[in-house]
Amino acid sequence: MEGYAKCCTAYARFTGEGINWERLRVSGEKVVIAGSEDKSAPLNIISKTAERIQARLVVLEGVGHWLVMEDLEGVERVVEGVFC
């Protein structure tokens, strides 16, 4: 429990400073999938991250932090749209 709390605190304080955003750029389409109800990774932060790496942001409505567990079909549609 303490480890999880420390992780949450570190994530809450994360500003992106020191990240080599260029290194995260890859060829081809990049997609970031987010849940509209995610309290661990707020949409405003995820949106900024997607923008920084020039990725398309897909938001799954009514979904929290556990994207695959909460909306397997939604994640599947996004992945199929990218790779198929």
- The CATH number of whichever domain residue 49 belongs to comes to 3.40.50.1820
Provide CB contacts within 8 A for 48, sequence distance 6+.
16
Domain count for the chain: 1
Cβ-contact 31, 4 below 8 angstroms: no
Q: What is the pLDDT of residues 13-55, one digit of tens each?
A: 877 777 776 766 666 788 999 999 999 899 999 999 999 888 9
Which pLDDT score is estimated for 2? 81
So what's the pLDDT on residue 25? Answer: 60
Higher pLDDT, 12 or 35: 35
| Residue-number span of the structural domain to which 46 is assigned | 2-83
If one compares 14 and 59, the residue with the highest pLDDT of the two is: 59
Got the DSSP string for 8-29? HHHHHH---TT--GGGG--SS-
The rounded distance, in Å, linking the Cα atoms of 32 and 18 is: 21
- pLDDT-derived band at 84 (thresholds 50, 70, 90) equals low
CA dist 29 → 5, 18, 56, 84 (Å) = 34, 24, 8, 12
